[in-house]
Amino acid sequence: MSQRDSFQNFLARQCVWTIAVFTLLSVLQLWSQSPELPPGPVQGKIRTACLECHDSRIIVQQRLNKAAWTKEVDKMIKWGAVVDAADRDAFIDYLSSNFPSDKPAEPMSRTSSPKKRDHP
């Protein structure tokens, strides 16, 4: 095999690698959409209403009582979150029972290095 062919093979392998990694990541991405939002009657509605402007981290890291969650939900509705009036109380119940003030702090991940991914 000529040097040129082996270079092309190398590039082809790199290319396949890159595509494979990114396909895998996008599949993972679909599976893992907002996994931290725990199951509950309004889980789906919260995903639609509350992850439009920001991801779920800003929600799951809060540790608040019901009064404070009520203020947050009303502030977000004022800022443009689309929440059916009939769902407001269920949202507040969901958030204050899943992210109450006495729950231990949420562990947060760190950014990973892009270099690691470019040269697996």
d(CA 9, CA 15): 10
Q: In degrees rounded to 5, what are phi and psi of residue 66?
A: -65, -40
Residue at 102: amino acid letter: D
Q: Which is nearer to ligand HEC, 80 or 120 (CB)?
A: 80
Distance CA(46)–CA(92), nearest Å, equals 10
Select the residue interacting with another protein from 34, 66, 87, 90 (CB under 8 A). 34
- The answer to whether 84 contacts ligand HEC (rule: CB under 6 A) is no
Work out whether 54 is an interface residue with ligand HEC (CB under 6 A).
Answer: yes
**Interface stretch with another protein, choices 6-14, 38-46, 85-93 (CB under 8 A):** 6-14
Q: What is the DSSP letter of 36?
A: T
* Residue nearer to another protein on the CB measure, 34 or 45: 34
